[in-house]
Structure 1
Amino acid sequence: MMIPKKFVPVMLTPFQESAAIDYKALEELVEFYLSAGAGGLFANCLSSEMYDLSREERLAMVSFIVEKVNGRVPIVATGTFPDTLENQASFIKEMHSTGIDSVIVITGLLAGESDSEQVFEANVKKLLDLTGDIPLGFYECPVPYKRILRADFLGELVKTGRIRYHKDTCLDIDGVRAKIAAGKSAADFALYDAYMVHAVDSLKAGSAGLSCIQGNYFPELVVWLCTHYNDNSEDVDKVRRFFTENMAVMHDTYPASAKYILGKRGLGITQVCRNGSALSSGADYDNLDGLLQKFEELAEQINLKVYSL
């Protein structure tokens, strides 16, 4: 039997016009993700503009999400930010106390960009020692820089029983396959791929699912791909090409672009971002309106149920 694949959204943070967190819109967003079929949530991530949130906001927002989800799906959230290892460990404990399933560690914050693999791996092991038995995961976040985990080191960590989650951004299908193979020693370890260009190949290779920014535009389409990826059909190829061919427009002004699309889809979310992202020209709006039209046409072609609030 095939194990069902899951889509885990990298959650946006809705802001009011004043740039305060909009908790009413956040509750709507949670319900939208779940109605679209999300199998988990990744809160307090780069898409959440986590580096532009205060310590108190990060904890309050994740606690709110845990309360609203109420056990319906697992939740992971980032727990490391620029600081000493000891202070990162302390915040991991605080984040875990919100009730999430695993705390995510940013690989690029455990060693400097010029530091060796030996330094990085020693710091990872030290952080594990400092955080008791808290379940952890890794995110190869592009900010402050992208540090890719070696497959054999990931496999070594998975064998400790502490590592439950990995969000992969290596953009290399062979690297993804190697990490999947390295993690097979633990039944409760899951690798989620962020790169939609090889999403079908990644799912076929044994990834647990997808965790990509495209799901902040059209979550039900990512869920559809997680369900139908193994079908030998033209529809799968249409969906694959849609994500590949529209990669640029979905990245260019993100996350403001995703907030604009969600607003057009009926969510009460503003385009306000704290990280400087904004739609700055008529061409930006035209491109996104065209993207939404293409999605609606594709949804009709593959008989996809489109969700809205």
Structure 2
Amino acid sequence: MQFIKQSLFITSLFAVTNSFACINGPNRVLSTGTTLYIDHEGHVPYGHEFWLNDPQTELRKLDSLYQVEPSPDFLNQKGIVYIIAKDYQKAIDLYLKIEKENPNQYSTASNLGTAYELIGDNKNALKWIERALELNPNSHEKSEWIHVNILKYKLGQFDLTSKNLINTDFGTEDFPKTNLSKQDLEQLLTQMYFQLNERRSFVAPKDEIVAQLLFDYGNGLLLNDKYAEAKEVYEHAIKYGFESPLIHKRIELASVEKSPETSFQALISNYWDTILISVISTFGFVFVLNKKNKKNRNKKSL
């Protein structure tokens, strides 16, 4: 779902103890003109701020639109309203009907996975999320593989570790470490942000999955020189129940403002190849220019 991020102070209005997946719809605004939610701007995943104050009215409006134009999009949006209103079984029944009448739609599969997970049926949740991933592997910033790993953990297929959830870890030293390239790290952070922002919309502290993901996301932010955001994310991880002496050491490191010298060293370290090419290009340009000027002066002397 594509949406415009806006800067707001945000408090999740709907939180349940079950871990949540991802809502799919045409956009963050219903066809009725009602805003579903607004997101906070920045790198910290606070979750959606839901604005759907009167679900029953929206359901009636969507039914009216469907009577005029029987589009599955209106039914899909009804399912989203059911999910936000915590009427998960109605959402499941509706999406199964949509799937029967209009099979192999990505949003139907994804929202079925979400609704099943919210009622605690993780087996069916995994089935439909994997189906959604097959139908559209590029959805949600290509992040649904993390959702699949989360469901596999909930089904007892492996332990709760960084490598099992996000296919990597950031070491046990005081400062996080990674073998990922800068580009791969940034892509992973984008994917983790999406999954955390969705999940935090429905999961209140404490939750071990969100806690682990927040800790790892904070590690990535710290490696990406986003110190203030990393510190805040670490603090959210603790609220969700993450317990380890390591997180407190990393909070201390994230609390230290980097000096200009350190920032310059990081710049050189991260972009040495680009800087080297620029320096060589500059020297080459100066050399050619001087040679041309010297040639012109020799012509004039003749």
Instruction: Judge same fold: TM > 0.5, yes or no.
Output: no
Bigger CA radius of gyration: 2
Which structure has the highest helix share of the two? 2
Give the TM-score normalised by structure 2: 0.29
Which structure has the highest strand share of the two? 1
Give the TM-score normalised by structure 1: 0.29
